[in-house]
Amino acid sequence: MNARDEILARVRAGLADRGTGAGHPVDWVYGRATPLPDVLGRFVERCEDYQARVIRVAAPDVGPTLVRVLRESGITSAVWPAGLDAGWRAAVLAAGVTVIADDPPLTRRQLDETGGVVTAARVAVAETGTIVLDHAADQGRRALSLVPDFHLAIVRGDQVVSDVPEAVAVLRASIDAGRPLTWISGGSATSDIELERVEGVHGPRTLVIVLAE
């Protein structure tokens, strides 16, 4: 017998005691919102708890805000996913930031030498201070938001949900479309040395979220 058949046979033999009925009902209602008095306020508070910086701006001010944040952070070149807002791109270009397209695809070394990356996000979770990327065209493939040391993410207010269950419900469509997902809660961190939290190990050491309302 090959390994597959043998493991399946062992499973079935091991479960000889199982009945035929459905069994093991799960007493849980999926996709519920967690009641929060102020979803966006909670999102900001929780992100900051994880040392991410959040800047709340009116939607039309996103372009100038990007320019300001990149300048303050000393980022002179940034990877720019193909599907990210052209108006924001123009604003950043006009401010003298070098905008780098992933076409042809950047090598790992090129990404490592790039100052930062700007992306959108698919959904954000208030209760946990999380943004989730599904790596659609306005976010770019996974390596873009991983290798550069600075990540600026733009989240629309209407993308912020209360808690994990609502986010999972939103993300079902991305999964069905075969997209990978990256859940990001604050910056990279480790507690491996005496349980002391250290920010910034391998992922981008700086995460800035621009929340556009």
Partner 1 sequence: MSVIAPDETRRTPAPPPGTFLGMPAFPVNAEQQLANAQLRANLARATATIRAKRALRVAEVPQWEDLRAAAAAIKDRVLANLDTYLLQAEANLTKAGATVHWARDGDEANRIVTELVRATGATDVVKVKSMVTQETDLNEALERAGIAAWETDLAELIVQLGHDRPSHVLVPAIHRNRREIREIFLAEMGRYGTPAPPGLSDDPAELAGAARAHLREKFLVADVAISGGNFIVADTGTLVVVESEGNGRMCLTLPDTLISVVGIEKLVPTFEDLEVFLRLLPRSSTGERMNPYTSMWTGVTAGDGPQNVHVVLVDNGRTRALADPVGREALRCIRCSACMNICPVYREVGGHAYGSVYPGPIGIVLTPQLRGLDSAIDRSLPFASTLCGACVEVCPVGIDFPKLIVHLRRLVADRERTEPGLEPAVMAVGEWAFGQGKHLSLVERVAEIAGRVFGPWRFFRKLPWPGSLWTSGRDLPVPPRESFRHWWKRVKP
Assign 60 to helix, strand or coil. helix
Q: Would the CA dihedral through 148, 200, 76, 129 be positive or negative? A: positive
Q: What are phi and psi of 190, to 5 degrees?
A: -140, 150
Q: Looking only at residues 194 through 213 of this chain, which bind partner 1 when binding is defined by CB under 8 A?
A: 194-196, 198-204
Q: What are phi and psi of 64, to 5 degrees?
A: -60, -35
Q: Would the CA dihedral through 187, 86, 59, 180 be positive or negative? A: negative
Which residue number, 25 or 60, has a Cβ lying nearer to partner 1? 25
Q: How far is the CB of 95 from partner 1 (least distance, A)?
A: 29
Q: Looking only at residues 102 through 141 of this chain, which bind partner 1 when binding is defined by CB under 8 A?
A: 105, 108-109, 112, 125, 127-130, 135, 141
Which residue number, 17 or 72, has a Cβ lying nearer to partner 1? 17
Q: How far is the CB of 201 from partner 1 (least distance, A)?
A: 4
Q: How far is the CB of 210 from partner 1 (least distance, A)?
A: 20
Q: How far is the CB of 146 from partner 1 (least distance, A)?
A: 5
- 139 CA to centre of own chain: 9
- Residue 167 to residue 61: CA distance in whole angstroms: 26
**41: contact with partner 1 by CB under 8 A:** no
Which residue number, 43 or 62, has a Cβ lying nearer to partner 1? 43
Name the segment binding partner 1 (CB under 8 A); options: 53-61, 76-84, 87-95, 175-183: 175-183
Q: How far is the CB of 64 from partner 1 (least distance, A)?
A: 29
Could you tell me the two tokens for 75? 């980022």
Of the candidates 69, 180, 174, 182, the residue with the CA atom closest to the CA atom of residue 130: 182
**96: contact with partner 1 by CB under 8 A:** no
